[in-house]
């Protein structure tokens, strides 16, 4: 194989490999869909988000630092169409701190305006699903 041909093959492989392994995270896409109304209200969505798999009816927790004076929305979604998800926020002392919450099938959201800066606990679960393990994503925004 000639050197220019080999170089071209290496370059094409380097370009094609990332595309071959790219995928759409449906759970994250749905969490972003759930955020639409809050974005229209001026909430800024953070690029960072949490994702993983969870067994149905097994609660999971994400710890996150929240600051007094800010208002936050957390949006949870599953890529499983049959999933019913819930999400709530607990303050550092373990008391529920939701200001507002909603749930629609495989999407749910919770709003909090913390009175004190501290580590808060976002507790979520898949309450029902045809799947044993469910892919999920949790995104958030603030203003």
Q: pLDDT tens for residues 34-43?
A: 999 999 999 9
User: To the nearest whole percent, how much of the chain has pLDDT over 90?
Assistant: 76
Buried b (16+ CB within 10 A) or exposed e, 8-19: eeeeeeeeeeee
CATH entry 2.60.120.380 includes domain 24-142: yes
Please count the CA atoms within 13 angstroms of the CA of 89 that sit on its side-chain side: 29
Q: pLDDT tens for residues 71-95?
A: 999 999 999 999 999 999 999 999 9
Domain ranges of the chain: 24-142
Q: Residue 20 belongs to what H/E stretch?
A: helix 3-20
Q: What is the dihedral of CA 52, 58, 64, 69, to 10 degrees?
A: 120
């Amino acid at each position: 194989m000639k050197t220019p041909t080999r170089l071209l093959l290496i370059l094409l492989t380097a370009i094609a490999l990332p595309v071959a392994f790219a995928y759409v995270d449906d759970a994250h896409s749905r969490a972003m869909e759930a955020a639409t109304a809050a974005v229209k209200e001026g909430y800024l969505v953070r690029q960072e988000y949490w994702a993983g798999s969870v067994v149905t009816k097994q609660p999971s927790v994400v710890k996150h630092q929240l600051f007094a004076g800010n208002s936050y929305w957390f949006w949870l979604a599953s890529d499983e169409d049959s999933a019913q998800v819930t999400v709530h926020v607990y303050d550092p002392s373990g008391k529920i701190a939701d200001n507002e919450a909603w749930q629609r099938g495989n999407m749910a959201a919770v709003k909090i305006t913390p009175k004190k800066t501290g580590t808060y606990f976002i507790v979520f679960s898949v309450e029902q699903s045809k799947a044993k393990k469910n892919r999920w994503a949790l995104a958030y925004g603030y203003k």
